[in-house]
Each structure stands twice: as structure tokens, then as C-alpha cells.
Structure 1
Amino acid sequence: MWWSYQDVEEQKARVQREIAKRKKRGEKFEVLAAPAGQKKLSTTFWGQAWCRNLESYQDYESRLPRGRSYLRQGKVYDLEIEPGKLSAVVAGSELYDTTIMIQPLPKKQWMQIVESSAGQVGSMLDLLAGKLGDGLMQVLTDPKDGLFPKPKEIRFHCSCPDHADMCKHVSAVLYGVGVLLDTKPELLFTLRGVDQAELLSNASSAAITDISAAAAGDLAGADLSAIFGIDLGAERAVEEPLPAKKKAAKKAAEKAKKAPKKKGQ
């Protein structure tokens, strides 16, 4: 079918009128803006890792370029990431509601990631900024056992008339996740149904173990809380209170020591 310039402009105008109507009904219609003037859609570790993983899916290869183009043209609106679910509105010849369901990360797989990450995550800021060692990066982005979903774990639905396995609107939304992760990397963990704090608490536990080991050696007797900035009080047993009689006797003895001695004594 051949489209004239006038047809295209009328199509755009019709879509904008529909957006205006839906805004009046209370819908946000916030466009997901891709970085302008850059070859790569994403600029951070997590966003780029998501896109690389997406492009490794051979089943989606033919549909990805068109979706990337849609995203760059500002046609993806109201992208939301929830546990196991992506949703957005994509503008084409009409407005299409797109939903993508992603299975939660299997618990066994997540626990393997947590164990492999032991002691390697310095802080939550480092984790979300992607400031990680090469070994940990490989664990988290492994195509088989990492954080990212595999094609068999993804199901999608779009209200468009395209009955292909993956339409360009779904592709645009999947690429949009990479853009959103640039500013909200924690949403990857939300999407997969896991708690990123478990990676950090694992590292903290390892750090406390190391400190305790050091206390048995050269640092024995030192104030470890002050040195390492970690409150170790919770790890120590609470001192048993002295019975009331012992307390009174101790207090009397201390008072006697402080009292001035009489002459001749």
C-alpha cells in the first residue's frame, strides 16, 4: 500500500487528537525520551546490558530495528515496570496498548547469584551505578543464569492488528526498558521479582566476618566500630546486670575510697 505525505500527516494528527482525548480522561501520556544525537539508546551499565541481552535473541532479530526507530521517534508513552510486567502505549497508525509479561527469576537461580556475589558489592550506590568487578558483571549478565529474562520467559500482547510473534510496538517497549534503566536501574530487580538488598546484605555479612577474624589477630582489643564505621554492638552479648546487693556494695566501696582520710589514720 502506498502512503502519501498527506496521509502520514493526517495519521499523526489523528493520533495526537486521540492522545488529547485520553489526557482529558486523566491518563498521563508521558513520552519516554531516548537520548538524542547518540548511536546507543542507553548510556549506563544496566541499560546497555539490557539492550545487549535483547539483541542476542535471534527470534526477535527482524523486529528489533523497527521498534528501536519507534522509540527514537518518541512514540512510547507511559512505560511502567512492575514485578513480572511491562506496560505502555505506543503510537503507530493508531494508539496501541502493549503489555509484556515476564516470569519472575527462579528462586534457585537468584540464590546462586547471591552466593556468587558474596563480598563483591561495595554499596547500593555501586550496585545501581554498575561499579562492579568483571567477575560479578559476568555473573549478573550471564545469558543463561543471570538477571535478564530469556525469550521463553517472555509473553506479550499488543492491541495492534499485526499478528507476528513480536510486533514493532512490543519491540519499542522492550528497548524502552533499557532507556528507563539508565535513570532507574533498581526497576530491573523489581521486574524480576527479587530484592537487590540481598546482594548488599550478603556483602555486609562477609565484611563483618572479615572484621571479626581481624579482631582475633592484630586488632584484638581495638575499637573496631570506630575503625570500620560499622556498629558491631548487635553482635555482642549484652552484659548481665549486677544483682542489687552487689551494686550497693560496689557503690559503697567506691564512696569510701573517695572520702578524705582523718588525721592520724
Structure 2
Amino acid sequence: MSWDYEDAQERKERLQREIEKRKKRGEKFQALEAPAGQKKLCTTFWGQAWCRNLEAYQVYESRLPRGRSYLRQGKVYNLEIEPGNLSAVVAGSELYDTSVTIKPLPKEQWMQIVESSAGQVGSMLDLLAGKLGDGLMKVLTAPDEGLFPKPKEIRFNCSCPDHADMCKHVAAVLYGVGVLLDTKPELLFTLRGVDQAELLSNASNAAITELSADSGELTGADLSAIFGIDLATEIPIEEPALVKAKPAKKAAKKKMK
């Protein structure tokens, strides 16, 4: 029995023609660039934590490797991350529209994370760069109570003919999220429907509360450190220039008749 396999180069050219056709209709097509020739797909705390979370679930393990390969080959286009939703176009035998729906993080769960992070986030830059203490990292990545979604919170949809719950196109999109989080970690908070600024705000409030509890007031505290200014340096105050009064006009002498 003979099998008619389409040449890989022909398929690639056909897909490229389809992409160009859709571009002419006004659709954008931007491939997600994944690092090639590197063992690690992601390099930052947030990207790696996302991928580790995916790989921790046995229900996904049979499909993930193929999706990872698709991503490395540049087959994921137009990956968008919005509150509760991922969408992309993945090139397989055809161009497939793929989407992933993720439930928002429960409010109670988020508030527990915020409370547990009190005083542990130095700045927004530290948070997004993943410069966090071990304790906070464990809170954020906890399998049950952390920031990352669990399988029961994820639903997939793909236009491909594969009827598996997670096809390789969906797997490629999920891995693509990790790559995108390497450069835009704030999108994880967008996806889960929470505001990362609350972690920083809670840290600031905790510091102020602790200061008040220790001293009862700000007396004796290093106000320069608190407010970020050098109070020891005298700031010269320019006195307002004196306005010279105009001399009064001399009264005109009356002419004597």
C-alpha cells in the first residue's frame, strides 16, 4: 500500500501563501519567537514557573512535548493574552485558530496571596523581575493556592480535527505563554484577572503599620529613608526680592496770579 505524503517544503509554501492571503485581508501575522538551540525554553522566574506548572500535571504530559516542538519551529502566531483568555493561530497541516479559556483567580485566593506577601515585595520592578524571597515564591507557585491555573480551571478549543482534550496546537500556545512572560510578566496578572499593584501596596502598608506599632509615632524615625529625601541638607530659600516703592510725584506748583 502506498501513502501520499505531502512534501514538507510544499506544505510550508502552501501555508505561507495562506498567511499572505490573510494578511491582504487585513489580518496580522506575527510569529512568536522562541529561543532556538537552547535547552531552556524560558529564562526568567515567571516564564519558567509557568512551564513548570504545566508540566506538573500528568493529564498534560503526553501532549506537551509536541507542542513545545511546534513553538520552537515558529508555528505560533498572534498570541494574545487577555483576562481569562489566550488566543493564537498555529500552523499545522493547515492554519488552526486556537483559544484557551482560564477561569479568573478566585477573589478569596488572591486576597490570601496578597496577605501572605505583606512586606515581601520591594518594588514593582523587583516583582516583575522575579526578585522575590523564597517564601513569597512558594506562595505564588503553590499548586493549590498559588497564582497559576490548575487543569480544572482551563478549557481548550482548536479548529483542528484532533479530538483530544489538549491537541499539540493548544500545547504550543500554552508553552508560548511562558515565552511571552519572559518579556511581559505583567500579563500573568492580566490573565488571572488580578492587579499586581496590590502586592506592592500591601507591602507598603505593612511597613507603615510595623513602624507605627514599634514607635507609636514617627518620632525618632529616619524620615529621610521613609520619604526618599535628604532632610539633613538645608534647602536654600530665596527671599522674595524687595519691590522698591516708586517716589511720589511732586505736586505741581500753582501759578501765582
Find out whether 1:185 has 2:190 as its counterpart.
no
Give the 3 Å change call, closer, same or farther, for CA 70–2 of structure 1 in structure 2: farther
Map 1:233-252 to 2 at 5 A: none
| Aligned residue pairs, count | 228
Q: How does 1:1-265 map to 2 (within 5 A)?
A: 2=3, 4=5, 7-213=7-213, 215-216=215-216, 220=219, 224=223, 226-229=224-227
Q: Distance in 2 between matches of 1:52 and 1:123?
A: 25
Match of 1:53, as an amino acid?
Answer: N
Q: Which amino acid aligns with 2:199?
A: L
- Distance across 1 between alignment mates of 2:106 and 2:86: 18
CA distance in 1, matches of 2:79, 2:200: 28
* Equivalent residues of 1:139, 1:145 under 8 A apart: yes
Structure 1: segments with no counterpart, 5+ residues: 232-265
| 1:9–1:193 CA distance, 2 compared to 1 (3 A) | same
1:7 is displaced (CA, Å) by 2.0
- CA RMSD, Structure 1 to Structure 2 (Å): 1.8
> Residue type of the partner of 1:162?
D
- Mark the runs of 5 or more structure 2 residues left unpaired by the alignment: 230-257
CA deviation vs aligned residue, 1:239-259 (integer Å, no higher than 9, x gap): xxxxxxxxxxxxxxxxxxxxx
Task: Please report how far the alpha carbon of residue 223 of structure 1 lies from its aligned counterpart in structure 2 after TM superposition.
Answer: 6.5
Paired with 1:230 and 1:74, the residues of 2 have a C-alpha distance of 46
The structure-2 alpha-carbon separation of the partners of 1:212 and 1:165, relative to structure 1 and needing over 3 Å to count, comes to: same
C-alpha change, 1:136 and 1:9, in structure 2 (3 Å) is same
- Alpha-carbon separation, structure 2, partners of 1:118 and 1:12: 52
Select the structure that is richer in helix: 1
Q: TM-score, normalised by structure 2?
A: 0.84
Per-residue displacement from partner, 1:77-115 (whole Å, max 9, x unpaired)?
A: 000000000000000010000010000001111111111
Q: 1: distance between equivalents of 2:209 and 2:148?
A: 31
Relative distance call for 1:230 and 1:201 in structure 2 (3 A) is: farther
State the 1:212 CA deviation. Answer: 3.0
Whole-angstrom distance in 1 between the partners of 2:112 and 2:219: 34
- Shift in Å, 1:220: 1.7
In structure 2, C-alpha distance between the alignment counterparts of 1:138 and 1:44, rounded to whole Å: 16
Query: Post-superposition shift, 1:2?
Result: 4.7
Q: In the alignment, residue 61 of structure 2 is paired with which amino acid?
A: E
